[in-house]
């Protein structure tokens, strides 16, 4: 019995992934079709700003913005 536990390469973002726009921690990745696997990384703010265009371009979107909630526990001020 073979368990299909292999995750696709788009499974998880790490804290080392940074927004291509501002350098903040990335919470979304967009892989563009025909770009040979090239991916763009976005923080929550910039992904929201570009989401419509990325979807329109047919990009494969990995959206982990739900994880932003995990960071709210850290006091900001
Ligand atoms: Zn950003």
- Does residue 17 form part of some domain? no
Which DSSP letter does residue 53 get?
H
pLDDT value for 7: 47
The more confidently predicted of residues 45 and 71 is 45
The more confidently predicted of residues 13 and 11 is 13
Q: What is the CA(7)–ligand 1 centre distance, in A?
A: 26
Q: Which domain holds residue 50?
A: 28-71
pLDDT tens track for 15-24: 899 999 999 9
- Are the beta carbons of 41 and 22 closer than 8 angstroms? no
- Does residue 15 form part of some domain? no
pLDDT value for 10: 44
Q: What is the CA(5)–ligand 1 centre distance, in A?
A: 32
Average pLDDT over residues 42-69: 93
Which DSSP letter does residue 74 get?
S
For residue 34, the SS3 value is coil
Whole-number Å distance between alpha carbons of 57 and 65: 20
Whole-number Å distance between alpha carbons of 13 and 40: 12
- Does residue 18 form part of some domain? no
Q: What's the structural domain count of the chain? A: 1
- Does residue 59 form part of some domain? yes
pLDDT tens track for 25-40: 999 999 998 867 789 9
Q: How many CB atoms lie within 10 A of CB 29?
A: 22
- Does residue 37 form part of some domain? yes
């Amino acid at each position: 019995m073979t368990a299909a536990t292999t995750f696709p390469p788009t499974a998880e973002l790490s804290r080392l992934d940074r927004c291509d726009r501002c350098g903040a921690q990335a919470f979304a990745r967009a892989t563009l079709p025909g770009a040979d696997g090239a991916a763009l990384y976005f923080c929550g703010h910039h992904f929201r700003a570009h989401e419509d265009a990325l979807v329109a371009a047919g990009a494969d979107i990995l959206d982990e913005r739900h994880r932003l909630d995990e960071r709210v526990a850290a006091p900001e001020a």
